[in-house]
Amino acid sequence: MRNKLANTVALVYEELLNRGVVAEIVSTRPSLIKYEIDGRVHYLHSVVSDNESAVAYVVAQNKWLTSMVCDDLGVPHPTSLTVKDYSVEAVEFLREHKNIAVKPLSGAHGNGITLSIDSRDALKSAISVAKEYDSRILLQEMVGGDDIRLVFVGGIFAAAICRTPAQVVGDGRHTLRELIGIENMSPDRGGDVFADTHRKKIPISHATSYLGHRYETEVPGAGQEVRVVGPANLGTGGWARDVTDEAPSCLIRDAKKIVDTLQFSVCAVDFLYSSPDDYCLIEINSAPGLNIHDDGRFGPPRGVVALYVDNLLLRGTPIDNSFVK
């Protein structure tokens, strides 16, 4: 069953065993690990444990609540609106902001997200895509900058990466559709599952949603780099590099404010960053992949899985029930 676990869960499971902790795989998809500390049984789903604050988990799962918490704590975030369908309010939001993002209110891995919406037709289509993942839709003003993810474990800043979206390089002859097909045949692309030695293939559904008519018609010039998906996720064919040692202090400060207030035991906080005076918190991930931060392909291994297990064992002491009659 070990080889059926997602990478992060497998590493956490192995770390528990290596430390002599009694651990058992209950389920692989979805993941559920059972482990014992001092005779008490705990369960672990992905990296969500019984150490986690329920409120923190709920806020992270709801992008609108995330924006409300940002407002309350004075953390910059994009102007947002929730809708249930293509509506007058949605059109007015587009008119006001000119260029917007459409996202399912909950969800992860870039699923259902469409960026750079600048027309009513594109807005209507993007809302339909988002509704495949959640009946509630979030509209946000588009903001630019580097996509930086900060990971915190036990309230401590542990690592950071800068993510880049999937792109292709033009040759002056092939369309974007053809270039994506060529790129997906590369030995560097490992299929639909992120393997240890490969990037994921570029999902066609994400490319067509992001590129629109350009997918079939645009022929980039020789050497021209073209972004072909919206979200800068590894799951949508993107890449990342470690920026732990150069993470902007303003991002660490604001992320820690969120982490400490909501009492996350582990989370990732995603920002779009242009400068210390120009950045926005985009979302919080309550179950981030930790393996990337220990994988030498992206930069120096940061020992995040070991830090996570340290925190898991430290906070897993038995509850004192002696007062219960």
pTM: 0.86
- Please tell me the total count of domains within the chain: 3
For residue 225, the enclosing domain spans 168-229
Q: DSSP for 141-190, please give it.
A: E---SEEEEEEEETTEEEEEEEEE--EEE--SSS-HHHHHHHHHTSTTB-
Residues 6+ apart with CB under 8 A from 20: none
Mean pLDDT (whole number) for 157-167? 96
Closest to 5 measured CA to CA, from 16, 176, 216: 16
Do 138 and 172 fall into the same domain? no
How far is CA 70 from each of CA 84, 136, 278, 317, rounded to the nearest angstrom? 22, 20, 15, 32
Look at residues 212, 229, 246 and tell me which one is the last residue of a structural domain: 229
Residue 89 shares a structural domain with residue 128 = yes
The pLDDT tens digits of the residues spanning 7-19 come to: 899 999 999 999 9
Q: Indicate whether 72 belongs to any domain.
A: no
Residue 222: alpha-carbon gap to chain centroid: 32
Q: Are residues 125 and 177 in the same domain?
A: no
Q: What is the pLDDT of residue 316?
A: 55
Contact status, residue 103 vs residue 130, Cβ threshold 8 Å: yes
Phi, psi of 215 (to 5 degrees): -55, -45
The answer to whether position 201 is within a domain reads yes
Whether 244 is in a domain gets the answer: no
- The answer to the question of residue 127 being in a domain is yes
Judgement on whether residues 89 and 138 belong to the same structural domain of the protein: yes
Residue 315 has pLDDT above 90, yes or no: no
DSSP letter (8 states) at residue 325: -
Residue-wise pLDDT tens digits, 283-313: 999 999 999 999 888 999 999 999 999 999 9
- The Cα–Cα gap between 217 and 212 comes to 10
> Based on the domain organization, do 172 and 136 belong to the same domain?
no
Instruction: Give yes or no: residues 126 and 178 share one domain.
Output: no
Distance CA 186, CA 192 (A): 13
Residues 174 and 220 in one domain: yes
Q: What is the pLDDT of residue 321?
A: 39
Of 48, 14, 97, the C-alpha closest to 311 is 48
Give the CATH number for residue 129.
3.30.1490.20
Determine, yes or no, domain membership for 295.
no
In DSSP terms, 36 is beta-bridged to 41
Is the bond into 203 cis (omega within 30 degrees of 0)? no
Task: Write down which residue in 229, 251, 268 finishes a domain.
Answer: 229
Q: Cβ(22)–Cβ(228) under 8 Å?
A: no
**Interatomic CA distance for residues 311 and 317, integer angstroms:** 11
Is 292 domain-assigned?
Answer: no
Asked whether residue 126 is assigned to any structural domain, the reply reads yes
Q: Are residues 85 and 138 in the same domain?
A: yes
Same domain, 48 and 86: no
Q: Which of 208, 229, 250 marks a domain boundary?
A: 229
**Residue at 183 is within a domain:** yes
Do residue 225 and residue 174 come from a single domain? yes
pLDDT in tens, 79-130: 999 999 999 999 999 999 999 999 998 876 677 888 889 999 999 999 998 9
Q: What is the mean pLDDT of residues 265-293?
A: 95
Are both 180 and 125 inside the same structural domain?
no
Whether 40 and 86 share a structural domain: no
Q: Which residue has the tokens 């639909």?
A: 192
